[in-house]
A and B are shown apart, each in its own frame.
Chain A
Amino acid sequence: MALSIEKVIHNLHFDRLFLDRIDAVDRATLKENEKKNKKTKLLHANGIPFHYLAVFKTLLCMREADMTPETIAKNFEQLFGRHIKQSSLSRTLTYLKDTLKLVQKNKNAFADSRFRYIKLTSAGREFQKHLIGSTSTKQDYAPEMREVINIAGRRVS
């Protein structure tokens, strides 16, 4: 039971950090636009599309050398049982690159395969550690989560 709870905490912690990343980008954009006296539109005011998270998790489960759009789509289907179109994948990867800055990629489909790449940034690698539940990661939100988790009628804190 204790081990299962730890798994739940790792999983929740990952999701929480992803949302934090979006929040941080929002705040940075807001500050920047305040200086320019521009109006800011919040990211995902009506909820975050799940496939952003799903594609990112798929990337985190792969080696950088294997990260091609075709392999990512194939692995996405194997992991989540749902097909992702190349255009949708490109959109998602562009979002992860430009907005959240979690991946780096060369989006040119016409470039030689040697020059087409997708790789994780340092922030992306940090997320990878959280996903695999590495002991070197610091789980800042874990105490709060333990307060909330109440499976089988007993708290785990």
Chain B
Amino acid sequence: MLRLNIKNMAKMTNKAVWLISHLYCKVWYWGRCTLRNQSDFDYFISDLRTDNSPLKFQTFFQKKVIVNDDIERSVAVRFGYIQIEYSFTKKKKEDNLLHLFGYDAMEEVIKALVKITKVSHHNASVFSLAKRRKEKADGVKYRKSNS
């Protein structure tokens, strides 16, 4: 009988923690994100109890930092069997996107065409045949013109 009561109490406590944590996080989210018009906070509340393997914790409260890097800080907090995971975004990642649609294709074509035109108008490196004639056997350098 006593055991049943303890079980019921645990369930009641769990439900109360569940409700309070939802309420608390909602207010937190509203204050931090909705009022400031930003989205740098996120939370997820889960119940750790499982039907197959009932968990037992030695303490009622536990806190653990899951991730803490340049971009994000994520913390998991446990009250009884209720786990709250909350994350803050620290800063936005640097822009290293491939801008597939950020440029005008026609513009690129025009640029390439202009470049080709410029190249074709460079001074032509013509091979001057007149300067490279071989000398004849009689010593005459160039054939005399018939005209």
Listed by A's residue number, 24 A-B pairs whose Cβ atoms lie within 8 Å are A70-B66, A83-B71, A83-B72, A83-B89, A83-B93, A85-B72, A85-B74, A85-B87, A86-B74, A86-B76, A86-B85, A87-B42, A87-B74, A87-B85, A90-B44, A91-B44, A94-B44, A107-B46, A107-B48, A107-B83, A108-B55, A109-B76, A109-B83, A110-B62
Of listed A73, A81, A110, residue having the most chain B CB within 10 A: A110
A-B complex: 9 closest residue pairs judged by Cβ atoms: A86-B74, A85-B87, A109-B76, A87-B44, A87-B85, A87-B87, A91-B44, A87-B42, A90-B44
Q: Mark A104-129, 1 if CB is under 8 A from B, else 0.
A: 00011110000000000000000000
Distance, CA A56 to CA B88, complexed state (A): 23
Please classify the interface of chain B as helix (H, G, I), strand (E, B), loop, or mixed, using the class held by over half of its residues.
strand
Task: Report B-chain residues with C-beta under 8 Å of the C-beta of A81.
Answer: 96-97
Assign chain B's interface to a size class.
20 to 34
Task: Report B-chain residues with C-beta under 8 Å of the C-beta of A91.
Answer: 44
Count of A interface residues, CB-CB < 8 Å: 16
* CB < 8 Å neighbour of B85 from A70, A73, A83, A109: A109
For residue B33, give the distance in angstroms from its CB to the closest CB of chain A: 13
Q: Is A88 an interface residue (CB 8 A)?
A: yes
Task: Report B-chain residues with C-beta under 8 Å of the C-beta of A109.
Answer: 64, 66, 76, 78, 83, 85
Distance, CA A83 to CA B85, complexed state (A): 16
Residues of B within 8 A of A (CB): 42-44, 46, 48, 55, 57, 62, 64, 66-67, 71-72, 74, 76, 78, 83, 85-87, 89, 93, 96-97
Task: Report B-chain residues with C-beta under 8 Å of the C-beta of A86.
Answer: 66-67, 72, 74, 76, 85, 87
Distance, CA A94 to CA B64, complexed state (A): 19
**Minimal Cβ-Cβ distance residue in B for A106:** B50
Distance, CA A90 to CA B83, complexed state (A): 11
* CB < 8 Å neighbour of B87 from A88, A94, A108, A110: A88
For residue B14, give the distance in angstroms from its CB to the closest CB of chain A: 15
Task: Report B-chain residues with C-beta under 8 Å of the C-beta of A69.
Answer: 66
For residue B82, give the distance in angstroms from its CB to the closest CB of chain A: 12
Q: Mark A78-110, 1 if CB is under 8 A from B, else 0.
A: 000101011110110010000000000001111
B67 touches A70 (CB 8 A): yes
**Minimal Cβ-Cβ distance residue in B for A85:** B87
Distance, CA A55 to CA B112, complexed state (A): 41
Task: Report A-chain residues with C-beta under 8 Å of the C-beta of B48.
Answer: 107-108
A108 touches B83 (CB 8 A): yes
Task: Report B-chain residues with C-beta under 8 Å of the C-beta of A83.
Answer: 71-72, 89, 93
Distance, CA A88 to CA B42, complexed state (A): 7
Distance, CA A13 to CA B93, complexed state (A): 33
